[in-house]
Structure 1
């Protein structure tokens, strides 16, 4: 009797780890949506979601950072209460914050590409402060650009007015989120040494 035993190639460990990390950062971003503060000069609250975008790009790189934020959007689209104030569904994408949401995968990918210098990832703790902050500034510019357009369309206002209330009004909060992201990366690098 001839029995052939074959082997089955499983999903590589690195892929499983990256999927798990992407899902974790997507869930963290959803949790950050519940941390909201009123913005006195904008009808849109300040949340910590953008901190999740920063961390996804920095920690996961361009590919998996973008995947993470795409998972986040798909979860919200399918009804998980992961957007501002526990909202979800298609309405969030056509409302005043829809442009921000749609920008998250693009911004995370751009941040990751700048931090890691391409598609391959490296230890983000070894990246210089200027590069980290520069990457987050680029990511913020992407978020503000799409967020401003989305807000202008949803609120039926001009781009200048939309830019003032949906971008400029958030600059101090984004600076604090950048500092927090740097702190996370630096504390991880210190703990590893």
Structure 2
């Protein structure tokens, strides 16, 4: 098989960026996947420490959601879900790598973490259908993931704090919309560019 044919087969629809990493045997593929899962969890934990408090809200602006969605798109649904499951379980068990170094279950923002578990599976599945290969498609994929996170995070915030639905929206959604647009813009530039570079190297 020629190099050109090989490149075409590895970048066809159904492939995510992580699949382009070489693994010549099944054993090496498993090692690669374990490393990717661990790396995705670690990246999310580090990004969660980039936090800016929001006045009047118990939920800070962080890089956590951006990292989680990029992990989902880059690794695919299965590996992305495993990464976020590891991140969530380790944080619940006491590892201080939720937003602002928090851990455990007694945090009002835990719903956002749970939402990320579903969101990464969704964006990973969309990425396998080419949802990260163009600017507009990446924007749509980010939007789907973000909606899922808020759909779980905001109601959980209301239940955990006793807020009304309106108060939870005001504290747990509205202050983050501008940041979400900026995160989507970063992904819209980074992921399609990574695919273009991968094609050129091939």
TM range (shorter): 0.7 to 0.9
For structure 1, which runs of at least 5 residues remain unmatched after alignment? 1-9
TM-score normalized by the length of structure 1: 0.83
* Structure 2 counterpart of 1:184: 190
Q: Distance in 2 between matches of 1:77 and 1:44?
A: 17
Residues 1:103 and 2:118 aligned together: no
Q: Indicate conservation of the 8 Å contact 1:103/1:146, yes or no.
A: yes
Alignment RMSD, CA only? 1.9
Partner of 1:132: 138
Partner of 2:89: 74
**Mapping of residues 109-124 of structure 1, within 5 Å:** 109-117=121-129
- 1:190 is displaced (CA, Å) by 4.3
Corresponding residue for 2:169? 163
Give the number of aligned pairs: 175
Q: CA–CA distance in 1 between the matches of 2:73 and 2:40?
A: 11
**Offset at 1:11?**
5.9
Q: TM-score, normalised by structure 2?
A: 0.79
2:63 match: 48
Deviations 1:28-48 (A, max 9, x none): 110011111122463321000
Partner of 2:154: 148
For residues 41 and 142 of structure 1, what CA distance do their matches in structure 2 show? Answer: 23
Query: Residue in 2 aligned with 1:6?
Result: none
CA separation in 2, counterparts of 1:147 and 1:174? 14
Contact kept in structure 1, 2:135 and 2:189, CA below 8 Å: no
Q: Would the aligned equivalents of 1:33 and 1:83 in 2 still touch at CA under 8 Å?
A: yes
Once the two structures are superposed, residues 82-130 of structure 1 have per-residue CA deviations (whole angstroms, 9 ceiling, x without a partner) of: 1111111232xxx21011011111000001111212xxxx7x76x2222
Q: How far did 1:189 drift?
A: 3.0
Residue 90 of structure 1 is matched in structure 2 by: 105
